[in-house]
């Protein structure tokens, strides 16, 4: 900084104020300092600045996995919004490991991150202490049970009910459901919506028409294989996410069935591949970019950090659904 100050013909304190964006520095002086910075090849030591100011200008995102494309658009929007305020985004994948989740979360306690976005539906053990009560944490998509952490998401029960009701309105009466992992809050809400739609239409709930998954294509294929063994087989299936829907369609075709002529399929999320699957997938669209933008706004103190922000979803109709064949 002394070299920059000498090149610009100003004091070290003026260089510091100029680089910090202080309004006390004139435009002419700021330009002189920036020119000297370029000539000197000076780079701010962000770690040192963060230590001095007790701020890292980093946000941490915890994901259950990096393999699910559902998260990509959320993180991208979060990163774009954070960068506008001079923040960077760190992404950590827990991959089902509680030890890994805990290690990543400790970055919030150590000051390596100023805020945390949870896409895992759970609060890491390291953060379950009063010391973190004032920390900036926001949950996206999945509510964190037994906490007051603000949530940004949609009404999953209503969305699942709408998806199932749509299949009923097409004329389907034997509707299966490929659910998410057992114990997952989204699994519970989407099963509740599925059952509510059946009940409202006077259709019985058949436990043997529900099969579990882990939200992957492979598990969707296995679940569909199980459901196709039911007698009579289902004429439609509502899937807990798009990836399981892709697996269900692949298994149906492998079994010699046509989608949607023999089996209508509805997904959930509207990830990028949904419009390009064969056939294109009817699904529930979640506003994932908006999730990321609002999460950043809360962590950057641009909007209140309390309660639940429920955003609208959309039913996207494509070619994977139709009326059932007459038997």
pLDDT tens column, 225-264: 999 999 999 999 999 999 999 999 999 999 999 999 999 9
Q: Read off the pLDDT of each residue in 211-215 and give the average, rounded to a whole number.
A: 97
Window from 42-51, 63-72, 157-166 with minimum mean pLDDT: 42-51
Averaged pLDDT score across all residues of the chain? 91
Mean pLDDT of 53-65: 83
Structure confidence at residue 310 (pLDDT): 96
**In CATH, which of 1.10.260.40, 1.10.620.20, 3.40.640.10, 1.10.150.120 is domain 2-44?**
1.10.260.40
State which fold the 156-285 domain adopts. Answer: Rossmann fold (3.40.50)
Fold agreement between 54-154+289-312 and 156-285: yes
**Would you identify the CATH topology of the domain 54-154+289-312?**
Rossmann fold (3.40.50)
Tokens of 301: 């103190």
- The CB-based long-range contact list for 210-213 (8 Å cut-off, 24+ gap) reads 210/176, 210/177, 210/178, 210/179, 211/176, 211/177, 211/178, 211/179, 212/178, 212/179, 212/180, 212/181, 212/182, 212/187, 213/178, 213/179, 213/180, 213/181, 213/239, 213/240, 213/244, 213/247
The crossing angle, in degrees rounded to 10, of helices 27-40 and 12-19 is: 100
pLDDT in tens, 170-209: 999 999 999 999 999 999 999 999 999 999 999 999 999 9
SS3 track for the chain: CHHHHHHHCCCHHHHHHHHCCCCCCCHHHHHHHHHHHHHHCCCCCHHHHHHHHCCCCEEEEEECCCCCCHHHHHHHHHHHHHHHCCCEEEEEECCCCHHHHHHHHHHHHHCCCCEEEECCCCCCHHHCCHHHCCCCEEEECCCCCCCCCCEEECCHHHHHHHHHHHHHHHCCCCEEEECCCCCCHHHHHHHHHHHHHHHHCCCCCCHHHEECCCCCHHHHHHHHHHHCCCCCCCCEEEECCHHHHHHHHHHHHHCCCCCCCCCEEECCECCHHHHHCCCCCEEEECCHHHHHHHHHHHHCCCCCCCCEEECCCEEECCCCCCCCCCC
Long-range contacts of 120-123 (CB under 8 A, 24+ apart): 120/62, 120/63, 120/64, 120/94, 121/64, 121/145, 121/184, 121/185, 121/186, 123/147, 123/149
Instruction: Report the pLDDT averaged over residues 284-292.
Output: 98
Label residue 135 by pLDDT band (50, 70, 90): low
Q: What are the sequence ranges of the domains in the chain?
A: 2-44, 54-154+289-312, 156-285
């Amino acid at each position: 900084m002394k070299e920059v100050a000498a090149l610009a013909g100003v004091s070290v304190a003026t260089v510091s104020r100029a680089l910090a964006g202080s309004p006390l520095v004139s435009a002419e002086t700021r330009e002189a300092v920036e020119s000297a910075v370029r000539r000197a090849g000076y780079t701010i030591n962000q770690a040192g600045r963060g230590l001095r100011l007790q701020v890292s200008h980093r946000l941490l995102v915890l994901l259950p996995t990096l393999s699910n494309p559902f998260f990509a658009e959320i993180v991208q929007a979060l990163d774009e919004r954070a960068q506008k305020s001079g923040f960077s985004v760190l992404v950590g994948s827990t991959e089902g490991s509680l030890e890994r989740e805990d290690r990543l979360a400790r970055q919030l306690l150590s000051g390596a991150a100023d805020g945390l976005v949870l896409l895992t539906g759970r609060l890491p053990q390291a953060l379950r202490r009063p010391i973190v009560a004032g920390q900036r944490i926001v949950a996206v998509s999945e509510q964190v049970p037994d906490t007051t952490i603000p949530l940004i998401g949609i009404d999953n029960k209503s969305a699942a009910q709408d998806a199932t009701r749509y299949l009923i309105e097409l004329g389907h009466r034997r509707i299966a459901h490929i659910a998410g992992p057992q114990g997952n809050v989204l699994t519970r809400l989407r099963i509740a919506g599925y059952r509510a739609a059946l009940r409202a239409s006077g259709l019985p709930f058949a436990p043997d028409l529900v099969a579990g998954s882990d939200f992957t294509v492979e598990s969707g294929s296995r679940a569909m294989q199980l459901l196709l063994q039911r007698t009579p087989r289902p004429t439609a299936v509502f899937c807990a996410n798009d990836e399981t829907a892709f697996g269900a369609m692949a298994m149906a075709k492998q079994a010699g069935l046509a989608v949607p002529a023999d089996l209508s399929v509805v997904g959930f999320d509207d990830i990028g591949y949904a419009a390009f699957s064969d056939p294109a997938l009817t699904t529930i669209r979640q506003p994932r970019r908006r999730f990321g933008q609002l999460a950043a706004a809360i962590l950057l103190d641009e909007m209140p950090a309390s309660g639940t922000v429920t955003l609208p979803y959309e039913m996207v109709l494509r070619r994977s659904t139709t009326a059932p064949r007459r038997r």
